[in-house]
Amino acid sequence: MKKLRIKSIIFITCFSIGLAIFIYLFFVPYTYIVNFKTSQSPISVYSFVHENTLDIYEKEKVIYFTQILKNEDTQLHWRVESNNKGSDVRIKIVFNKSNLKEKIRILTFRSSSLKKIVKRIKKIYKSMSDDFKSFSWTTPLNDKLPEIDCLCIQLDSKIREKPKFMNQNVDLLAYHAQNQSKLPPKLYINDIDFINQMFSYEFCFPIGKSGVYKPIPEEFYIKKQVVNTSHSIDFYGNFAATQRFWAKLYDSLRLENDKISYPLVEEFLDSPFSGKDDKEWKSKLYF
């Protein structure tokens, strides 16, 4: 009787394992799953891989998108869910042409392709972690931004190209604004397309008491910037990283079925030529 019971347990166990393998091989659409947590907000997670993605959509607390790895003929199906400290990430790996073969290789511990993909995901995760350590911001405070006469230029670019376009225009704007008292320049952001990682903004210098130095370049214009803001934070880090706060604000409002109210404003209180480490560069963000 005891031997029969042992044989039954062995049979049931083997059958269950065999059934699980059969279902995995022929019915599970993905090959492997990678899970991790990150301090980055969901839309910031997306920004690290967005150039090779498609089918992005949002549902409640979750962002879904598919990343295409062309060299490996592989798809990574990302599921990024917001949590109190950042994001929970789940990635389903699918090999387009050899999914069944790769599943067999995985079961026999011979999948070099999977090792390459996992290594790539770890590299992305490290980039997120290193990036998050490079900046910080303070608790939001009630704050209003005074109106000011500025010399501005209208710009549209990829979010990551903001430093390049600012560097291209900063000297000429400062020269024609005659801002001898060195009032800090500002960025007035009129729209951010987080899905395409594009944004539209005005780069402005406060005009000095002497007025603008004429003739000003054709692309420059004078504008009284009047912005209704209610809060601000102090941001410490490279000015290229301010997008992380805007992404966090976007994700927070999205969960409340609300949207960002534009314009947003960045005021640059430190110069990149100050000699400070860029982790210490201070800007003030108004929203």
Peptide bond into 263 cis (omega under 30): yes
Eight-class DSSP state of 50: G
Distance of alpha carbon 44 from alpha carbon 130, whole angstroms: 13
Q: Is the dihedral of CA 206, 207, 213, 216 positive or negative?
A: positive
Q: How many CB atoms lie within 10 A of CB 89?
A: 22
Taking only the tens of pLDDT, the chain with its 287 residues reads 566 666 666 666 776 776 667 677 677 788 999 999 999 999 999 999 998 898 999 887 899 999 998 776 899 999 999 998 899 999 999 998 777 888 888 788 888 889 999 999 999 999 999 999 999 999 999 999 999 999 999 999 999 999 999 999 999 999 999 987 788 999 999 999 999 999 999 999 999 888 999 999 999 999 999 999 999 999 999 999 999 999 999 999 988 889 999 999 999 999 876 778 899 999 999 99
Distance of alpha carbon 159 from alpha carbon 197, whole angstroms: 6
Q: What is the pLDDT of residue 63?
A: 96
Q: What is the pLDDT of residue 106?
A: 79
Q: What is the pLDDT of residue 271?
A: 80
Sorted by sequence, the CB contacts under 8 Å of residue 20 that are 6+ apart come out as: none
Q: What is the pLDDT of residue 216?
A: 95
What pTM does this model have? 0.88
Distance of alpha carbon 55 from alpha carbon 36, whole angstroms: 22
Q: What is the pLDDT of residue 52?
A: 87
Residues across the chain: 287
Q: What is the pLDDT of residue 11?
A: 61
Q: What is the pLDDT of residue 107?
A: 80
Q: What is the pLDDT of residue 205?
A: 97
Residue 233 parent element (H or E): strand 231-236
What does the block give as tokens for 209? Answer: 């008491």
What does the block give as tokens for 49? Answer: 């891989």
